Amino acid sequence: MSELTISRRGLLAGSALLLASTALPTIGFAQTPKKGGRLIVAADSEPRNLNPAIVASNGVFFISSKIVETLAEASFDGKDGLEPRLALSWEGAADGLSVTFKLRDGVKWHDGKPFTSADVAFSALQVWKPLQNLGRTVFKDLEAVDTPDELTAVFKFAKPTPFQLIRNALPALSSVVPKHVYEVGKIEDNPANNAPVGTGPFKFAEYKAGQYYRLAKNDAYWGKDEPYLDEIVYQVLPDRTSAAAALEAEEIQLAAFSAVPLADLDRISKVPGLKVITKGYEGLTYQLVVEINHRRKELADLKVRQAIAHAIDKDFVVKTIFLGYAATATGPVPKNDPQFYTADVPTYPFDVAKANALLDEAGYKRADDGKRFALKLLPAPYFNETKQFGDYLRQALAAIGIDAEIVNNDSAAHIKAVYTDHAFDLAVGPPVFRGDPAISTTILVQSGIPDGVPFSNQGGYKNADLDALIAKASETLDTAARTDLYKEFQRQVAADLPLINVAEWSFISVARDTVGNIANNPRWAVSNWADTYLES
């Protein structure tokens, strides 16, 4: 095939912040998907590692989930919110010490070799448990994987492990890699990390730095008559303001993960041939939080933390920064999670007078210049919304006499300052809720996390009761009892405010109306797109 040529668009002029309507067009699904065609997608970053078994992150999944498959995927309608991928079934033992997976027959790796239980065992023991950013916690007690036959994998745990947790972890944490590709040499240095070999509907075909990733149809895919597309091309558009122009010019057909700025959505929803889609991210809820360094004397005082919480107008944040495409938060579990969420938690309505009174009670009186004390505030640089909230928070704190100095860093410097050097007083963070509090949520507040672990409690907060509750939930096998423990977890976090949950949001997709089967599962943007098609 000749070298792919994709043109670029100039930057869009900045648009004023307008409240966008949330009454977006509904998604239409054609009855008979068509085969063929190249889907061109906006990509705002270039992951340095494309192996989702090592780096379980949305930036990696966005590309690699089409190549490397998991044991199960999230589903709107499936039992327990799951549908089969490489595993057809999964069953946990009553004692919590084992989980048995029955695997799909007839699956081949992209190099033609058969997929077997040996690949699952290798992935779990050699990759997920020791190397994966999230799997290190979820699979910490996994001690063996028995493979009585090529289509059966039995996970054995040293300690009782809740089946609910393992089940909830499957969509994000169970990407299977080929043992025969990775068993020789250091896994972290394997060339396949940048040119993955998988079982998915698309094969890795080509990467041109700063230009595009190209995936080609896997003609030997196990899914009947799938995939429908011939190719997927991710055009690198690091400046998000260019995505809307590229869509309107029909140079790309899809912009996921809010690649089109929120401020442009109201206008672009009225453009003929384009559709704005709010579904398909229910399993990828981002949370806007204020991270707190409890080593700072003032911030170790609960009344000060309560004052800061009362000083934040969450409704204003949702309407003005997120333009209505978000919801106010009550605690560490988002409202859209039907399994664990509870509204029965302490809340902190916007009340500047109460915030000022709490600071007075705490002994931090205003000086002659009206200031009580100064703080260093580090907004995460990943999203416009986190940076905008940093500016808002500085103003909100000024209204109660706290002088916040904003320190802006790039991504690497921000992670180092907050999670290694602890060189912050407050930070604005966007952690992701991944369907279970034990997956990347409890780590935000439990003590004893080693220095340097990103997106974890590096604020020095210690609460023995909360640690004990987290530990108990991690070994509680009864699903209802475990769920109740996490509801109590939410109450304790909201009461003691180790961090402040402000808002929760998902993303928006914008697509040409010729793209079919969009947003048909809760992790659609990071699922395999085997049934996605182009009408023309």
Average pLDDT over residues 99-119: 98
Q: So what's the pLDDT on residue 16?
A: 27
pTM of the prediction? 0.86
**Does the pLDDT at position 6 exceed 70?**
no
SS (H, E, C) 382-444: CCHHHHHHHHHHHHHHHCCCEEEEECCCCHHHHHHHHHCCCCCCEEEECCEECCCCCCCCHHH
Query: pLDDT above 90 covers what percent of the chain?
Result: 85
Q: So what's the pLDDT on residue 12?
A: 25
Regarding predicted confidence, which is higher, 45 or 83?
83
Reported as a single tens digit per residue, the pLDDT across 260-306 is 989 899 999 999 999 999 999 999 999 999 999 999 999 999 999 99
Burial class from Cβ neighbours inside 10 Å (0-12, 13-18, 19+) for residue 350 reads middle
C-alpha separations of 185 from 49, 121, 182 in Å:
17, 18, 7
Query: pLDDT above 70 covers what percent of the chain?
Result: 94
Q: So what's the pLDDT on residue 529?
A: 98
User: Are 498 and 294 in contact, with CB atoms under 8 Å apart?
Assistant: yes
User: Are 56 and 134 in contact, with CB atoms under 8 Å apart?
Assistant: yes
Distance CA(303)–CA(362), nearest Å, equals 6
Q: So what's the pLDDT on residue 22?
A: 32
Across all residues in the chain, what is the average pLDDT? 92
Regarding predicted confidence, which is higher, 342 or 48?
342
**Does the pLDDT at position 18 exceed 50?**
no
DSSP track, 478-521: -HHHHHHHHHHHHHHHHHH-SEEEEEEE---EEEETTEES-S-S
Q: So what's the pLDDT on residue 221?
A: 98
User: Are 65 and 527 in contact, with CB atoms under 8 Å apart?
Assistant: yes
Reported as a single tens digit per residue, the pLDDT across 135-185 is 988 999 999 999 999 999 999 999 999 999 999 999 999 999 999 999 999
Reported as a single tens digit per residue, the pLDDT across 468-491 is 999 999 999 999 999 999 999 999
Average pLDDT over residues 52-76: 95
DSSP lists the bridge partners of residue 428 as 290, 379
Question: Where residue 31 falls among pLDDT bands split at 50, 70, 90?
Answer: low
Q: Which amino acid is at 288?
A: L
Distance CA(534)–CA(518), nearest Å, equals 11
Reported as a single tens digit per residue, the pLDDT across 411-449 is 889 999 999 999 999 999 999 998 899 998 999 999 999
**Does the pLDDT at position 119 exceed 80?**
yes
Question: Which is nearest to 429 in space by CA: 293, 310, 531?
Answer: 293
Question: Which is nearest to 33 in space by CA: 201, 278, 229?
Answer: 229
Q: So what's the pLDDT on residue 17?
A: 26
**Does the pLDDT at position 333 exceed 90?**
yes
C-alpha separations of 486 from 166, 231, 332, 344, 415 in Å:
16, 43, 10, 12, 28
Reported as a single tens digit per residue, the pLDDT across 493-528 is 999 999 999 999 989 999 999 999 999 999 999 999
Question: Which is nearest to 62 in space by CA: 224, 178, 210, 202?
Answer: 202
Span between the terminal Cα atoms of the chain, in Å: 21
**Does the pLDDT at position 41 exceed 80?**
yes
CB atoms within 10 A of CB 368: 5
Q: So what's the pLDDT on residue 382?
A: 85
Average pLDDT over residues 80-87: 96
DSSP code of residue 166: H
Burial class from Cβ neighbours inside 10 Å (0-12, 13-18, 19+) for residue 339 reads middle
Reported as a single tens digit per residue, the pLDDT across 217-271 is 999 999 999 999 999 999 999 887 799 999 999 999 999 999 998 989 999 999 9
DSSP lists the bridge partners of residue 274 as 512
Distance CA(167)–CA(341), nearest Å, equals 18
Average pLDDT over residues 334-363: 97
Angle, CA of 142, 143 and 146, to the nearest 5°: 100
Q: So what's the pLDDT on residue 241?
A: 79
Distance CA(160)–CA(144), nearest Å, equals 14
Q: So what's the pLDDT on residue 23?
A: 34
Estimate the crossing angle of helix 479-496 against helix 163-173, to 10 degrees. Answer: 70
**Does the pLDDT at position 103 exceed 90?**
yes
**Does the pLDDT at position 27 exceed 90?**
no
**Residues 6+ away with beta carbon under 8 Å from 215:** 63, 66, 67, 202, 203, 204, 205, 231, 232, 233, 234
Q: Which amino acid is at 458?
A: Q
